[in-house]
């Protein structure tokens, strides 16, 4: 019965999300973000996931807070495969840029290499983001100046040897965002969206050779470590956001490889060996 109710709720949410993106654009009067630097939403995708990309982009372009840009970073060879519903969004402010194919790192590294003096908000390409999603991140950034803010995070527990416990044992975090247990670190996960303030990272954050060696499929891990090395703290934007994942086998494959297949643990161990214990 519980699974049946959960399935019905998801069906209702999906119907509402599809209706919202079909009605795009719905929000004409947007509020200024009020931050002291430009605010840019940045994401990436690739052809096997293009079928849902247009829906996600419409939800990102239809936020209640005005941005200084929504940028889609693609490998040069993937641009020709973009569907027309994505191309049509350029008339609504979407910017399509090309860069080296550095996998999921495309969502942020090219932007940082171009200009670190901005607020960047990363998003996934297969999620419906409700209209107040960005407002929550911006409000949290104002409440916690200089911090990285995220809608979704896990509590990464440290062992007695100051190494991370297995990823599968990290519970989802909830407010208050700073855990009372000193052995726990707040570890943002990209699905919910993450806001990075200007100059949040160690200077090595754009070192392509190094991040592809240590964490080729773990951009969240890399960005977390680079932030901690720079002394930047992490905060939750709230208790959660009404996010809905469009059905896609590609996302599930990465989830099983990283979370269940211990891919995250291998990459975390590689980071620990190279940089030492997380600060």
Report in angstroms the alpha-carbon separations of 170 from 157, 189, 221, 260.
Answer: 7, 12, 14, 12
Q: Where residue 54 sits, what CATH number does that domain have?
A: 3.90.550
Residue 199 has pLDDT above 70, yes or no: yes
The domain total for the chain is 1
Q: Nearest Cα to 267, choosing from 230, 227, 225, 214? A: 214
d(C-alpha 46, C-alpha 185), whole Å: 32
pLDDT at res. 259: 54
The domain containing residue 83 runs over which residues? 2-275
d(C-alpha 270, C-alpha 275), whole Å: 9
Stated length of the chain? 279
Are 83 and 94 contacting, i.e. CB atoms less than 8 angstroms apart? no
d(C-alpha 45, C-alpha 86), whole Å: 11
Residue 256 has pLDDT above 80, yes or no: no
Q: Identify which has the larger pLDDT, 190 or 102.
A: 102
Where does residue 193 rank: exposed (0-12), middle (13-18), buried (19+ CB within 10 A)? buried
Beta-carbon contacts of residue 57 (< 8 Å; ≥ 6 apart): 70, 72, 86, 89, 94
The pair of three-digit structure tokens given for residue 171, joined into one six-digit string:
């519970």
Taking the CA atoms of 39, 86, 104 and 253 in sequence, report the sign of the dihedral they define.
positive
Averaged pLDDT score across all residues of the chain: 91
Residue 58 has pLDDT above 60, yes or no: yes
Q: Give the percent of the chain with pLDDT over 70.
A: 90
Are 191 and 152 contacting, i.e. CB atoms less than 8 angstroms apart? yes
Q: What is the pLDDT of residues 9-31, one digit of tens each?
A: 888 999 999 999 999 999 988 99
pLDDT at res. 223: 98
What stretch of H or E contains 271?
helix 263-275
Q: What is the pLDDT of residues 200-216, one digit of tens each?
A: 999 999 999 999 999 99
In the block, tokens 């990272």 appear at 201
What value, to the nearest 5°, has the Cα angle with vertex 12 and ends 260 and 139?
70
Q: Identify which has the larger pLDDT, 198 or 179.
A: 198
Are 171 and 155 contacting, i.e. CB atoms less than 8 angstroms apart? yes
Q: Give the percent of the chain with pLDDT over 90.
A: 75
Q: What is the pLDDT of residues 226-249, one digit of tens each?
A: 999 999 999 999 866 567 898 763
Q: What is the pLDDT of residues 152-191, one digit of tens each?
A: 999 999 988 888 999 999 998 887 665 666 678 999 998 8
């Amino acid at each position: 019965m519980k699974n049946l109710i959960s399935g019905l709720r998801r069906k209702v949410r999906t119907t509402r999300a599809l209706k919202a993106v079909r009605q795009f654009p719905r929000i004409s009067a947007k509020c200024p973000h009020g931050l002291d630097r430009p605010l840019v939403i940045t994401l990436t995708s690739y052809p096997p996931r293009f079928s849902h990309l247009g829906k996600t982009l419409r939800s990102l372009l239809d936020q209640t807070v005005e941005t200084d840009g929504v940028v889609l970073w693609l490998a040069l060879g993937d641009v020709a495969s973009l569907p027309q519903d994505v191309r049509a969004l350029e008339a609504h402010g979407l910017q399509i840029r090309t860069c080296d194919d550095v996998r999921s790192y495309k969502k942020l590294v090219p932007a940082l290499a171009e200009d670190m003096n901005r607020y960047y908000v990363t998003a996934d390409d297969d999620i419906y983001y409700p209209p107040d999603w960005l407002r929550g991140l911006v409000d949290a950034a104002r409440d916690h100046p200089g911090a990285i803010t995220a809608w979704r995070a896990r509590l990464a527990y440290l062992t007695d040897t100051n190494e991370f416990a297995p990823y599968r044992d990290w519970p989802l975090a909830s407010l208050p965002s700073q855990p009372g247990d000193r052995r726990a670190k707040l570890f943002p996960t990209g699905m919910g969206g993450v806001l990075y303030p200007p100059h949040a990272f160690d200077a090595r954050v754009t070192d392509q050779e190094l991040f592809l060696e240590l964490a080729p499929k773990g951009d969240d891990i890399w960005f977390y470590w680079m932030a901690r090395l720079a002394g930047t703290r992490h905060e939750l934007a709230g208790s959660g956001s009404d996010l809905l994942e469009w059905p896609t086998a590609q996302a599930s494959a990465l989830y099983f490889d990283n979370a269940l297949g211990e891919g995250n643990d291998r990459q975390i161990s590689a980071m620990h060996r190279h940089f030492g214990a997380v600060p």
